[in-house]
Amino acid sequence: MRTLFWMSGLCVILGLSACQSSTPNRIEKVHHYTLKQKCPTLLVMKVGEILQFNAPENPSTGYAWQLVQPLKLFKTEETFLQPETDKPVLGMGGEKSFSFRAEQPGQELIELVHVRSWESNKEPTEQWLCRIRVS
């Protein structure tokens, strides 16, 4: 009786593990760039891969990094990270991080500019470009 109980438990466990996906969790490739690093003439990525861009930013100056136009092939996430300090410091800068996940095949230009949003006629203080082909 005891053996039957253990055998049936083992069958249940094996049956449940068979229900899981047969493909292991894939860690997609991440392409890291900073303001000091230029993107290649044409960066080739696959669907699911991520392009990560980081640049210094201080929102208290009014200047911020932003996309020139919305992207069609990528899912975009933006975050602002401030260094941890014991006491908050007024006007402290940090780092702006953009994460672009390739969602579908095609070719697209990522254009980021460092501007004040209300100064539409002024040239950006800095710019970063990356032409990407997603397959």
The answer to whether residue 11 sits within a structural domain is no
Instruction: Find out whether 119 and 66 touch, Cβ atoms under 8 Å.
Output: no
Domain total of the chain = 1
Query: Domain of 109?
Result: 26-134
Residue 7 located in a structural domain: no
Assess contact for 54 and 34: CB atoms under 8 A.
Answer: yes
Q: Residue 5 domain-assigned?
A: no
pLDDT category of residue 21 using cuts at 50, 70 and 90: very low
Burial class (CB in 10 A: 0-12, 13-18, 19+), 21: exposed
**CA gyration radius, the chain:** 23
* pTM for the whole structure: 0.76
User: Is the residue at 17 inside a domain?
Assistant: no
Indicate whether 6 belongs to any domain.
no
Within a domain: 13: no
Residues 98-109: tens digit of each pLDDT: 999 999 999 999
pLDDT in tens, 39-53: 999 999 999 999 999
Identify whether 37 is part of a domain: yes
CATH number at residue 113: 2.60.40.2020
